[in-house]
Amino acid sequence: MVHHAARTKPVQPPPAMTAQLLTHTPPNPAAFVMTAMTPAGEAVSQIHSLAERAQVDEAIDYAARVLRATVGEFVAAPSVVGAPGLPCVDLAVEFFIPPASADAFADEVDRALIRRSPAYFAARRSDQIRPIRLTLLPPGSFHQWRMVWKKDPAIAQENRWSAHRRIFESVLHQASTGWRELMVPE
């Protein structure tokens, strides 16, 4: 007599466990590790949690030292929700001394952030986000932005890595218009 075992559906681990298994990183409450099942819109909104502000600061500082550049100011934010393609980190930088190659600077920042943030490393390794996208700003852009919008310099420092794009878009707008005060709501 042959005894047939009842066919049951294999037990699936909960989503949090799946993220740990897919990425092979220890859980980090300060960082969010995206799983392959995360919808693109949700992934874009959660890019901010892939790295802490100090990690972004260190990555930019390291890239500047390696390429012998001097960063004046920068602002970074997740890419636009719903943009075509994979999400990414948008970075706008004003240099005192620019690097020889903007592409090399963006690549070096990306590599430095991969080394500093396990969550960012996991997302890049699993092709859930693209490399950093760099926008070069003309000298004086941040100063113009602060003067036109009457912003305290501490605001830009505090929000240079932000989950929202308000400051990023505002600085880009000011850089494109210059001193013409064609203000858009912030």
For residue 79, give the nearest of 185, 168, 173, 145 by alpha carbon. Answer: 168
Structural domain boundaries in the chain = 28-177
Extract the tokens encoding 78: 């997740």
- The span from the first CA to the last CA of the chain, in angstroms, equals 76
- Which pLDDT does position 41 carry in this prediction? 43
Distance CA 40, CA 25 (A): 21
- Which pLDDT does position 23 carry in this prediction? 30
Overall pTM > 0.85:
no
Q: Residues of the chain whose pLDDT is less than 50? A: 1-41, 44, 182
- Which pLDDT does position 92 carry in this prediction? 97
- Which pLDDT does position 117 carry in this prediction? 96
| Extended strands (E) in 6-141 | 70-78, 89-97, 133-137
